[in-house]
A and B are shown apart, each in its own frame.
Chain A
Amino acid sequence: MRHEGKTEARLGRIRGSEPPRRHNARTIAALTSNPGCARRAVLDAAGVDKERLAARVGFPAAFGQSQFAIVRGNAFEKQVKADGCAELLRLLRELLGLDLEQATYRDLGAGETGDSLHPRHAAARAQLAGAAEGARPTVFDHPLLRLDIAGQEVYLEPDLVAFQHGGAFHVVEIKSFPVIDGQADGEKVAAAAIQSAVYVLALRRLLGRADAVSHEVVLVCPKDFSNVPVATTIDVRRQLLVLEHQLARLTRIDTLLDALPDDLTLDLAENGAGGPVVTAEALTGALGRVAARYAPGCLSTCELAFFCRREAAGRTATLGAGVREELGGVETIDEALGLAHGTLAPDEERAEAAAMLRTAARVYAEGLQAASAAVPPAPVALTADGEPAAPPGAGAGP
């Protein structure tokens, strides 16, 4: 326990005087993308506001939601839940074969925030546990769940949880993207699945039994181009595995912290005079101490991505995982080009990658030559810095 306290104190120092940023299902789900990134793990564990941090160091990210999307989402959820979830109960009956004929609907109070969360969670806990003992099928609206993330208590609010006597709890997630002829946007479904998995995990921990909550979550979406809801089950076992692994890793944050200087801080607060406690330069310097693992995919999931992309300039990772793989995992663009042009001698480990790169460089140069011979004038420019695109001695045959 003492050790845990030490970690928390350490994370607190990194965060500085700001209150920790609250996680929600979306940010927890985001933890599962790019799990190898230490920077992200430390920032998330410490609860640093990454969006504000990114703005402070000069790389604001344009994450935002259109009010049209929000309005539509809320309207659809309201419609599905109208009349005590009458429409939804019908869907669940058909989809899960649930005996929800006499199901009760229980609103566990949405919308409250702040300090009143704790009693709401306690109430939800009592209700859900009671339902597990009881006999009546029930649909719970907005039960407040709780999950421990790196020593932080995080409150989560699934749209709905359905309980069937003798069966199990099902997490129900209402999303406003359409399912057209049985097909929906793959990315959106994936995001909904991982988010639902967070709820399943929280519910399982609350009830203390894994088998009490089904790994099949129910996704309710508008059908085709209408507002008519349609329900589908999604198996989130894979997402649960990834999530549990990631959360376990966050608790092992000590290893990452041990590698960092003791006085590292990313305090975003202002001092009494309205100036920053830590200057932008100092923040940039501190961020540089925590290793990141940038990949282009970060651009759509992480607020700090633009900062990390600039930092990773010159690395093959910025060209995408596929390119990096094709280059045999060579770390930087300079190294890869050096190997390709024979100006850098490969070590044993990279001999194979180097041979492939040399071949690629040679055949590319020959291809350009053949093309320009066939179609003058060549609409191509060789490398701008005048470096020969082909290594000497590997010309186009005789």
Chain B
Amino acid sequence: MSAVEAYARLLAARAGAAQPVASVRHVHLSERPLVLVPLTMAGEANAPLAALVGTDERAPALLVVGQPRDRALRFAFASELAGILLAHVERCAAAGTEPVKPPKAAARQQPATAPAGRGAGRAGAAAGGLGGAPAGADAAGTGEQGTDGPGADWEAEAAPEPAEPVRFLDAPQVLVPNRAGIDFVRLFGRSTRFRATTGEHAVPAAVPVLGRWLTYLAGRAEHPGSASLVAMTEALTLHWATGQSALEDANLAALMAWIDPPAGLSGPEAALLAEDPVRWPPAGPATDPQFDNRVLAPAIRAYDAAAAGQAGSGGGDERLGEALAEIQRVARTQLEPTWRLMWRAVDRLRALPAAASAPRRWERDRARFTAYYSYLRDSDGGLPQARRDGAVAAARRLGALERELAEYEADRAFDDPLVLAGHRVTGEAFVGTVVGADRERRRPNERGSLVTRPLVQLRTVDPARLATGTRVRSPARPGQTGVTLAVEPADDGFLVVLELSGGMGRSKVPPPGSVPKVGETLAYTSLLVEGAFSAGLPAPEDTPWTHGGPPSPYEPAEQDARELWE
């Protein structure tokens, strides 16, 4: 919660309408995202009850489980869901590929001295371009660091090098209503990925594959900036501030009421109505207890009776069909309002122009998708993800998540003046006017040779809190890095002196325009993409004893497949 977001909430509360906290869309949106609205049965361990799922708002597939406590019916549901999700995966894989340039070894070794390249990458991404050295460097980063989801053990060992010479042009994107929806995906993946398709507890063939993909998606959802599995409430609150609390924002209907209220109603009025579970059933996966007790329980009892009758007499198919139709009907009443909300939310997000760095983040999702897709098809691959990360995989994963978070925050500040505003309040960024520039300044570097290092002085009224020697960069001049030489109080604000390097070409005197001119207004931020670097980790085989020694590769145990699900 930044001060600017807090202020935007104040404005929203007074105006009775959500206020923007982002001016561009920081989340990639696919042409045809797969929207999934799941419901579970209360009291059970993630037992599916029903779901609406599909890529077309007008034609969702409704899946229901007549008796959610019945194991066989649960796996039938999983099989149906697998049919839809795996088809989506295949469609994405069939959309074509693009070549990935081999990584340059140097690109990762000297990130601090390659800002120009980064900047160029940014500009390239902004223009929709994909190739180029920075893109390759990014691929190297993700491959090398093993940034996949939980159970990345397989990846840390199976793919130490970025193995894929190509990358799919598309990747699956699944949208769920809220954070609990992501938990549903993770747990449903967990309950299905170990299942065996042969033997005593055999399940339909697609079920364990579904489990692997759901686990992959849930793992991606933990990566900052990933758009493979997105909770709609979180995507929306990234772009709008409401006049209610974050806790109330977790209710998709109430959140959308502030962002897009029905005609004639203010945000708070609409939000109040949205809290009525009869009018707006919860967005799941938990159902409304009153619905359970009054509507669903009788319907399931009728289904049970019909099923018992069928088992007893051998007939009664019709009764069972009727009972199932009734459960489908009541499930639909709970799912459809959320389904429509999801698509309205998609439309609202789509109306925002995409952020400059969003395609680059999506490219990473595509790279991970490509890697996992081919892993599943590999002759010695395709094992389910382990139950828990090993020490090595966990450490790598944590490091990767931290780095991605820092990158994501820096990217968003670069892409969006409203996000930058939040950093201006804390003093990590400032906007100032150039009041002095020494374009031709040269000074000896560490080796004694003269280099061009222009100076610019900026005056700002922002509370710039930058220590001397802080590296900063301007979204308007991404190829150029500044180092603060001094930050001094000056009438009503600060005078910031920056020494610039990069983005000026090779001539001794920088060409005009390559150095900010007096009178120019510029934003500078100390949040830089390469700002976060953690210490390197030892190779898996050199894991110290403190972390359990070298990990043994994950071997799926037979008991995993036989696990009960009652």
Contact = CB atoms under 8 A, between A and B. Distances in A.
Contacts of B9: 319, 323
A224 B433 contact: no
Interface residues of A, number: 70
Contacts of A379: 20, 23, 351-352
Interface in B1-42: 1-11, 13-17, 19-20, 23-24, 41-42
Interface stretch (B289-297, B323-331, B445-453, B500-508): B289-297
A178 B563 CA distance: 14
Contacts of A122: none
Interface string A36-67: 00000000000000000000000000101111
Given A73-B43, A322-B246, A383-B14, 18 more contacts: A62-B289, A62-B290, A66-B42, A176-B43, A181-B190, A225-B566, A320-B247, A323-B9, A327-B6, A336-B10, A357-B7, A359-B463, A360-B421, A363-B425, A367-B23, A379-B23, A384-B15, A398-B521
A370 interface: yes
B519 interface: yes
Most chain A CB atoms below 10 A, which of B15, B462, B519: B15
Interface stretch (B166-174, B401-409, B412-420): B412-420
Nearest to B564: A226
Closest 4 CB pairs between A and B?
A371-B23, A69-B43, A72-B43, A66-B42
Contacts of B247: 296-297, 299-300, 320
B6 A326 contact: yes
Contacts of A371: 23-24, 416-418
Contacts of B519: 398
B244 interface: yes
A370 B424 CA distance: 14
A376 B3 CA distance: 26
A363 B462 contact: yes
A323 B245 contact: yes
Interface of A: 62, 64-73, 176-178, 180-182, 222, 224-228, 296-297, 299-300, 314, 316, 318-320, 322-323, 326-327, 333-334, 336-337, 340, 356-357, 359-364, 366-368, 370-372, 374-375, 378-381, 383-385, 387, 389, 394, 396-398
A356 B431 CA distance: 16
B302 to A, nearest CB: 15
B308 to A, nearest CB: 18
Contacts of A381: 15, 17, 19
14 contacts: A62-B290, A64-B290, A69-B43, A73-B43, A176-B43, A180-B45, A180-B190, A181-B190, A226-B564, A326-B2, A327-B3, A357-B7, A360-B4, A367-B417
Given A176-B43, A226-B564, A394-B461, A360 B13 contact: no
Given A319-B13, A380-B20, A363 B290 contact: no
Contacts of B14: 333-334, 337, 383-385, 387
A396 B11 CA distance: 20
Most chain B CB atoms below 10 A, which of A73, A368, A398: A368
A320 B245 contact: yes
Interface of B: 1-11, 13-17, 19-20, 23-24, 41-46, 187, 190-191, 243-248, 277, 287-290, 292-293, 296-297, 351-353, 387-388, 416-418, 420-421, 424-425, 431-433, 461-463, 519, 521, 563-566
A68 B45 contact: no
Contacts of A367: 4, 23, 417-418, 420-421
A62 B4 CA distance: 34
A66 B2 contact: no
A351 to B, nearest CB: 14
A367 B463 CA distance: 16
Nearest to A298: B247
B10 A327 contact: yes
Nearest to B68: A68
A359 B463 CA distance: 8
A320 B13 CA distance: 13
Given A67-B292, A337-B14, A384-B15, A363 B564 contact: no
Contacts of A319: 6, 9-10, 13, 243-245
Contacts of A69: 42-43, 289
B289 A361 contact: no
B456 to A, nearest CB: 15
B565 A225 contact: yes
Contacts of B425: 356, 359-360, 363
B433 A397 contact: yes
B39 to A, nearest CB: 12
Nearest to A177: B45
Contacts of B564: 224-228
Contacts of A383: 11, 14-15
A326 to B, nearest CB: 4
Nearest to B23: A371
